[in-house]
């Protein structure tokens, strides 16, 4: 065997290979290559020495040297590849640019729970095909009462503790809307059915205690089409409650109720338990009311210019502050409107987290 004959080559190979392995970068590797294969390299010198040997010895020695040269060449190539890749990695790391914007100091502010819950509700109903509708806070008697089948002298007018504005020039007396239901009327007057809308906004009633504030928030819902029935109402509100409270197996029930603008009317309750003074939604066998709903009364459709022989649908109304308190365990409604920064920091939400069904609502 060539290696047996050329015992001196074993030591040389070990030395040359060690130099290749020790090269820390491409320059170092080039040095190792030159030291072996350059003009004055150790292997080159041995190659030159071949001429001095006899024919047989030369042949065997040449084979051994060439094999060594091949192995060294392969080691050099392999090392070059690793060092090359490492060099690119190092350069990429060095030249990396962070294109994300730093969090700006002003984003330290918090989103009010009411705004956040409006975003959550919007995300859920948008997913079911509902659009957003709006109406004015200062309403006329027709939209807030009359068209909703609440005629003058109807007891519901007293129940609502209405704030009245001064009589205007035409003798009409405007009110601060007592619910978001007038948005139903405005939307039906301005659009051709079918439609599905929700209308979040402020409402006003002359009332104030732990759970009542003279200004609070509601979200109205309205779905009108040719064949909408109570099953659609239930399915839609079941789905809403389960998504909003983020409890898949939430128990829900409908209780018969009365509203002048819906027939039949119902109130929806969700299942809950009180444990150690704490409310647990989705557990136990207590019930909590969360909204009013029903099939839109034919008189309401007529008043808003929609033909009740062609169209029908459901409506619902829900207190936003109330469901925010229930979900986030906020004890006193009045704190919502006191603008206390400590409260807001505690109960508020990050401005960078937008609720969505895919990424989660509460965040
Ligand atoms: N407007 C009712 C309220 O303020 C809620 C409601 C809306 C009920 C729509 C039924 C249908 O209590």
Alpha carbon distances (Å) from 246 to 22, 153, 250, 363:
60, 42, 9, 11
**pLDDT for the residue numbered 4:** 45
**pLDDT for the residue numbered 357:** 79
How many other CB atoms sit within 10 Å of the CB of residue 331? 8
Q: Ligand 1: which atom is nearest the Cα of residue 221?
A: 9
The dihedral built from the CA positions of residue 178, 149, 136 and 117, taken in this order, carries a sign that is positive
**String of DSSP letters for 203-234:** EE-S--BTTB-SEEEEEEEEEEESS--HHHHH
By the 8 A CB rule, do 301 and 315 touch? no
**pLDDT for the residue numbered 105:** 67
Ligand 1 centre to CA of 201 (Å) is 13
195-204 and 131-132 strand pairing: parallel
Backbone angles phi and psi of 180, in degrees to 5: -90, 0
Name the residue with the closest Cα to ligand 1, atom 5.
317
Consecutive 10-residue runs of the chain (363 residues): their mean pLDDT?
A: 62 92 92 92 90 88 92 94 91 90 74 96 97 97 96 80 86 91 98 98 90 93 97 97 93 96 97 88 92 98 98 98 93 91 92 78 66
Backbone angles phi and psi of 264, in degrees to 5: -70, 165
pTM value is: 0.71
Name the 3-class secondary structure at 274: strand
Q: Which of 154, 265, 313, 317 to mutate to test the pocket of ligand 1 (most atoms within 8 A of CB)?
A: 317
Ligand 1 centre to CA of 290 (Å) is 11
For the chain, the straight-line distance linking the first and the last C-alpha, in angstroms and rounded, comes to: 74
Q: Which residue has the tokens 């004890």?
A: 331
Q: Is 144 in the pocket of ligand 1 (CB under 6 A)?
A: no
Ligand 1 centre to CA of 316 (Å) is 6
Q: Is 292 in the pocket of ligand 1 (CB under 6 A)?
A: yes
**String of DSSP letters for 75-120:** HHHHHHHHHHHHHHHHHHHHH----SPPPPGGGGSEE-HHHHHHHH
Please state the CATH superfamily assignment of the domain spanning residues 111-350 in this structure.
Bira Bifunctional Protein; Domain 2 (3.30.930.10)
Q: Ligand 1: which atom is nearest the Cα of residue 181?
A: 1
**pLDDT for the residue numbered 272:** 93
* Distance between CA atoms of residues 27 and 205, nearest Å: 82
Rg (CA), the chain: 40
* Distance between CA atoms of residues 61 and 120, nearest Å: 83
Q: Is 293 in the pocket of ligand 1 (CB under 6 A)?
A: yes
The dihedral built from the CA positions of residue 72, 75, 80 and 86, taken in this order, carries a sign that is negative
Alpha carbon distances (Å) from 300 to 52, 121, 183, 296:
116, 25, 12, 7
How many other CB atoms sit within 10 Å of the CB of residue 66? 13
Tokens of 181: 């239901």
Element (H, E) at 257: strand 252-259
* Distance between CA atoms of residues 209 and 90, nearest Å: 65
Ligand 1 centre to CA of 74 (Å) is 82
């Amino acid at each position: 065997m060539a290696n047996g004959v050329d015992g001196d080559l074993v030591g040389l190979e070990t030395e040359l290979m060690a130099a290749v392995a020790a090269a820390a970068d491409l320059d170092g590797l080039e040095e190792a290559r030159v030291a072996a294969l350059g003009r004055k390299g150790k292997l080159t010198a041995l190659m030159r020495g071949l001429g001095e040997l006899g024919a047989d010895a030369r042949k065997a020695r040449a084979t051994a040297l060439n094999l060594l040269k091949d192995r060294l060449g392969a080691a050099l190539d392999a090392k070059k590849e690793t060092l090359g890749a490492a060099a690119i990695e190092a350069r990429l790391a060095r030249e990396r640019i962070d294109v994300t914007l730093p969090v700006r100091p002003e984003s330290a502010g918090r989103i009010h729970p009411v705004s956040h819950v409006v975003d959550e509700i919007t995300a859920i109903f948008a997913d079911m095909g509902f659009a957003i509708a709006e109406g004015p806070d200062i309403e006329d008697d027709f939209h807030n009462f009359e068209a909703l089948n609440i005629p003058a002298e109807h007891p519901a007018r007293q129940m609502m503790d209405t704030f009245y504005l001064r009589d205007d020039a035409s003798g009409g007396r405007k009110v601060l809307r007592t619910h978001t239901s007038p948005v139903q009327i405005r939307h039906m007057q301005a659009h051709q059915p079918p439609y599905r809308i929700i209308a979040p906004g402020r409402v006003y009633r002359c009332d104030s205690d732990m759970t009542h504030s003279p200004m609070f928030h509601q979200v109205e819902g309205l779905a009108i089409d040719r064949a909408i029935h109570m099953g659609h109402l239930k399915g839609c509100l079941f789905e809403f409650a389960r998504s909003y409270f983020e409890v898949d197996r939430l128990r829900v029930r409908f209780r018969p109720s009365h509203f002048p603008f819906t027939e039949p009317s119902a109130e929806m309750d969700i299942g809950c338990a009180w444990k150690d003074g704490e409310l647990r939604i989705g557990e136990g066998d207590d019930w909590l009311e969360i909204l009013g709903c029903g099939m839109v009364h034919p008189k309401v459709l007529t008043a808003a210019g929609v033909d009740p022989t062609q169209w029908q649908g459901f409506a619902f109304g829900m207190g936003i502050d109330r469901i925010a308190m229930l979900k986030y365990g906020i004890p006193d409604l009045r704190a919502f409107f006191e603008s206390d920064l400590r409260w807001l920091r505690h109960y508020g939400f990050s401005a960078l987290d937008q609720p969505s069904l895919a990424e989660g609502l509460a965040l």
